[in-house]
Amino acid sequence: MVGVAAGLAVAGKIAFAASFAAFAVNKGFEQLRVLAAYPPEVNLKLVGTHAGISIGEDGPSQMSVEDIALSCSLPGFTVISPADEVSTGALVRAAAAHRGPVYIRVGRPKVPVIYQPGRRFQIGQAVEVVGGTDLTIIATGLLLSEAIRAWEQLRTEGISARVLDMHTIKPLDVGAIARAAAETGAIVTAEEHLVEGGLGVRVAQAVVESHPCPMEFVGIRNTYAESGTPGELCEKYGLVARDVIAAAHRVLQRKKHAL
């Protein structure tokens, strides 16, 4: 499928291909590398569905928790991870208008609608969902709604958290990251992906290159999940608002000691 889509793209089509992320990226990686990344500006748009562990009962063989790392490693690829229905529709259209290969990562379960219909999104430009001064939570995909829940709880504690929707993981909005590091002095990243190689490490690289500050990382740590309901799995593997709040408290303590 990936090979055929790449061939159509080389022939001048805007080619969309879609399958479970575990198949499209993990199994299709060699074809993506040789047929879409190596030639210049192959206009392939790959949609990886059922990404992360929230696919649930299908189990670890169907769960792609490496796809962000794999797709970001491909030269020339744009990597997008929308958070809700509105941003998915807008970013699919943006991907179609973009010249070059794009990977769009989407999940399986129903998620809260965060944005109003008609909201515009630009590839490579993060959205500041709420402002804040004490720390910044940078989230992508499914974890954005959990970051917003964490923000609500932190606000009751007198903690001012900025929340950024990093819907484009490659290219990163390094300007928004640099401002967050300089203005809030502490960052938490949140993603439904292995911490090793995901959004967090890419944000950390941008932070080190701009304005180093304490960071904490919410994500899957060096393991594959088991079978279960999406809610059970997110609870067990630390991907809910409670975990974002705990990371926020840790990073604020480190920020305090660094001052």
The order of strands in the sheet holding 102-105 is 15-20, 44-49, 102-105, 78-80, 168-170
Supply the pLDDT for residue 82.
98
CB atoms within 10 A of CB 118: 7
Report if residue 115 sits inside a domain. no
CATH for 12: 3.40.50.970
Listed residue (201, 200, 204, 191) closest to 237, CA to CA: 191
Instruction: Indicate whether 83 and 159 sit together in one domain.
Output: no
Q: What is the pLDDT of residue 39?
A: 93
State the pLDDT confidence band at 175, using cuts at 50, 70 and 90: very high
Q: Facing residues of 217 across strands?
A: 189
**Are 139 and 211 members of one domain?**
yes
| Separation between Cα atoms, residue 56 and residue 227, nearest integer Å | 6
Q: Is residue 110 part of a domain?
A: no
Same domain assignment for residues 238 and 206: yes
Average pLDDT over residues 9-25: 96
Tokens matching residue 104: 């769009």
User: Which pTM value belongs to this model?
Assistant: 0.96
Which residue's entry shows tokens 């903690």?
Answer: 159
pLDDT digit string (tens) for 94-108? 999 999 999 999 998
The per-residue pLDDT for 257 is 86
Pure H helices in 103-198: 143-156, 174-184
pLDDT above 80 (res 145): yes
One domain for residues 47 and 155? no
- Cα distance between residue 51 and residue 64, in whole Å: 5
Based on the domain organization, do 13 and 58 belong to the same domain? yes
Q: What is the CATH number of the domain that holds 165?
A: 3.40.50.920
Per-residue burial over 32-56, b = 16 or more CB atoms within 10 Å of its CB, e = otherwise? beebbbeeeebbbbbbbbbbbbbbb
* Band of residue 58 on the pLDDT scale cut at 50, 70, 90: confident
Q: How far apart are CA 108 and CA 186, in angstroms?
A: 31
Same domain, 202 and 144: yes
What average pLDDT does range 165-181 have in this prediction? Answer: 98
Q: 219-248: per-residue pLDDT in tens?
A: 999 999 999 999 999 999 999 999 999 999
Number of domains in the chain: 2
pLDDT of residue 103: 98
pLDDT digits (tens, 9 = 90+) for 181-219: 999 999 999 999 999 999 999 999 999 999 999 999 999
pLDDT score, position 109: 87
Q: How does pLDDT run across 60-70, given as a tens digit for each residue?
A: 899 999 999 99
Question: What distances in angstroms separate CA 139 from CA 29, 72, 114, 116, 200, one per listed residue?
Answer: 25, 17, 13, 19, 9
Q: Which residues contact 199 (CB under 8 A, 6 or more apart)?
A: 68, 81, 138, 140, 166, 169, 189, 191, 193, 219
Token couple for 213 = 């500050």
Q: What does the pLDDT look like over 113-122, one tens digit per residue?
A: 999 999 999 9
Which pLDDT score is estimated for 150? Answer: 98
| 3-state per-residue secondary structure call for 49-115 | ECCCCCCCCCCHHHCCCCHHHHHHCCCCCEEECCCCHHHHHHHHHHHHHCCCCEEEECCCCCCCCCC
Task: Based on the fold, state whether residues 254 and 135 are members of the same structural domain.
Answer: yes
Reply yes or no on whether the pLDDT at 259 is more than 80: no
What is the chain's mean pLDDT, rounded? Answer: 96
Does 162 score more than 80 pLDDT? yes
Domain extent for 71: 2-105
Phi, psi of 45 (to 5 degrees): -115, 110
Residue 204: how many other CB atoms lie within 10 Å:
16
Task: Report residue 258's pLDDT band, with 50, 70 and 90 as the boundaries.
Answer: confident
Encoded tokens for 166? 């990093």
* pLDDT number for residue 224: 94
Q: pLDDT of 42-56, one tens digit each?
A: 999 999 999 999 998
| 113 in any annotated domain | no
Q: How far is CA 233 from CA 26, 130, 193, in A?
A: 21, 27, 13
Indicate if 97 and 133 belong to the same structural domain: no
Spatial contact of 96 and 79, defined as CB atoms under 8 Å apart? no
Tokens of 29: 């990686």
The share of the chain scoring above pLDDT 70, in percent, equals 100
3-state secondary structure of 206: helix
